[in-house]
Amino acid sequence: MTRHRISLEEFHRMVEAGVFPEDLRLELVEGELLEMSPIGPKHAFVVRKLTTLLAPLALENKALLSGQNPLVVGQSELYPDVVLLRPHSDGPDRHPQGQEALLVVEVTDTSLRHDLSVKVPLYAQGGVPEVWVVDREGRRVLVHREPREGGYKEVRTLGPRDTLAFMGVEIPVEELL
Amino acid sequence: MLRYRFTAEGFHRMAEAGILPEDARVELVEGEILTTSPMGKKHAHVLNTLVDLLSPLRGQAVISIQNPLVLGPVTEVYPDLALLKPPRTRYRDRLPEGEDVLLLAEVADTSLDYDLTVKLPLYAKAGIPEVWVVDLVRDRVYVFRRPTGEGYGEREALEGGELEALGLRVPVKEVLP
């Protein structure tokens, strides 16, 4: 017996056929469907803060700002906490793809290992140019750049006194912890 | 991260919408979709033999071959053979469940481990009173009786002698290829 690996197409047809309960949030991670745990207040707080700080980029039409919406990377469909997409890469008939992203931010509480070992490599494979992992427990942000097969070439660790910068927006790490 | 478990209802919706792979034998085992490799000729032959040998029971049981059997909300399996409580019309509008089964038989070649460690406990939990597992590798038949919550209280490995199904005696040597 072999576990059936679910393809992206099958997953979308399942959603259309009403296979899943409405309120369920599922990520398709390399052929497996994973249930996302409910979002805690601290996590939501950080995501709101990030969204607010990155909003000027959306207002200036430099990027599309997408919060906790699907992003397709290869045969996986993930829900990053925050995504900045290239302008004009939007459309109502499909989900955006990894190579259309400018930046992905994941805020982790208990899922750090899963985010670093499973999701970050998928983002790299999907061509996402930059990924921030906000590790609140470790009081740091891991900045990943230069995607290649299997992971990112450059990984920098920023502490509470450092400042994140993206397309002219500056975010003190302290504000996210 | 929690793996999503499909329900039998969702599984049927997928089948109706033609989402599952048509060419594979598919089962739902504890919420996971599993595919089985095509059946070998030895397996098919032994199954035919079992049907022949058990056919005198036609009046006492419904002989169900590789048909669905529902074991709780997240499991739907296709045992090689099941003797079901009669009459046949009992299953016109619903699928049989564990309590409908009088005896269940599986033919195992490469799937022996899986049959014994995963499926057998499910059969026991569903209260299936007797299970035969024909082991094509070691040329023996395992007989399991007295289901408890987790397993079977009585187990035998027969290389000769007789099996007994609803009073019908079946020589083990005739079952083995």
Mean of pLDDT values over B95-115: 94
Q: Is residue B30 part of a domain?
A: no
Which residues span the domain enclosing A70? 40-176
How far is it, in rounded angstroms, from Cα A145 to Cα A130? 5
Q: Is A16 within a domain?
A: no
Q: Does residue A127 fall inside a structural domain?
A: yes
Structural domain count, chain A: 1
Contact A35 B35 (CB under 8 A): no
B1 vs A24: CB contact, 8 Å cut-off?
no
The partner residue sitting opposite A34, judged by closest CB among B2, B13, B36, is B2
> Which chain A positions have a beta carbon within 8 Å of B32's beta carbon?
3-4
Q: Does B22 touch chain A (CB under 8 A)?
A: no
Q: Is the pLDDT of residue B44 over 80?
A: yes
* Between A154 and B22, residue with greater pLDDT: A154
pLDDT tens-place values along chain A, 177 residues long: 788 899 999 999 999 999 998 888 899 999 999 998 888 899 999 999 999 999 999 999 999 999 889 999 999 999 999 999 999 877 888 899 999 999 999 999 878 998 999 999 999 999 999 999 999 999 999 999 999 988 999 999 999 999 999 999 999 999 998
Residue to substitute from A6, A7, A12, A19, interface B, most B β-carbons within 10 A = A19
pLDDT in tens, A55-74: 999 999 999 999 889 999 99
One-letter identity of residue A106:
E
A3:B34 CB<8 A: yes
Nearest to B29 by CA among B105, B133, B115, B147: B115
Residue B1 lies in a domain: no
- Residues from chain B contacting residue A33 (CB–CB below 8 Å): 3-4
Shortest Cα distance, chain B CAs vs residue A118, angstroms: 11
In the β-sheet with A26-29, what is the strand arrangement from edge to edge? Answer: A71-73, A76-78, A26-29, A32-35, B2-3
Query: A80: which residues sit within 8 A by CB, 6+ positions away?
Result: A68, A71, A104, A105, A106, A119, A123
Measured in whole angstroms, the distance separating CA A97 from the mean position of its chain's CA atoms is 11
Question: Is B102 among the domain residues?
Answer: yes
Report if residue A35 sits inside a domain: no
Q: Is residue A144 part of a domain?
A: yes
CATH code for the domain of B130: 3.90.1570.10
In a domain, B9, yes or no: no
Task: Return the pLDDT at B150.
Answer: 82
How many structural domains comprise chain B? 1
Residue A81 in domain: yes
Examine residue B17 and state whether it is found in any structural domain, yes or no: no
Predicted local confidence at residue A6, as pLDDT: 93
Give the model's pLDDT for residue B51: 97
d(CA A144, CA A46): 19
Residue B11 has pLDDT above 80, yes or no: yes
Range of the domain at B121: 38-175
**Residue B137 at interface with chain A, using a CB cutoff of 8 Å:** no
Nearest to B10 among A2, A19, A27 (CB): A19
How far, in Å, CA of A83 to CA of A101, rounded? Answer: 7
In a domain, B71, yes or no: yes
When pLDDT is averaged across residues B66-89 and rounded to a whole number, the result is: 95
Contact A18 B34 (CB under 8 A): no
User: Does B20 reside within a domain?
Assistant: no
Pairwise pLDDT comparison (A139 vs B36), residue with the higher score: A139
Domain membership flag for residue A162: yes
Give residues 146 to 175 of A whose Cβ lies within 8 Å of B. none
Asked if the model's pLDDT at residue B175 lies above 80, the reply is yes
Would you say residue A25 lies in a domain? no
Q: Can you give the CATH number for the domain in which A124 is found? A: 3.90.1570.10
- The DSSP code sequence of A95-149 is PPBGGGEEEEEEEESS-HHHIIIIIHHHHHHTT-SEEEEEETTTTEEEEEEEEET
pLDDT value at position B23? 67
The reply to whether residue B19 touches residue A4, judged by beta carbons under 8 angstroms, is no
Q: Report the pLDDT value the prediction gives residue B98, as an integer from 0 to 100.
A: 96
Contact check, Cβ <8 Å, B27/A16: no
**CA–CA distance, A95 with B105 (Å, rounded to integer):** 47
User: What does the mean pLDDT of chain B come to?
Assistant: 93
Beta carbons within 10 angstroms of residue B153's beta carbon: 10
Whether the pLDDT of residue B24 is over 80: the answer is no
Shortest CB distance from B13 goes to which of A1, A17, A37? A17
Residue B33 included in any domain: no
In a domain, A23, yes or no: no
The verdict on A113 touching B (C-beta cutoff 8 Å) is no
Which range has highest mean pLDDT (A86-95, B76-85, B112-121)?
B76-85
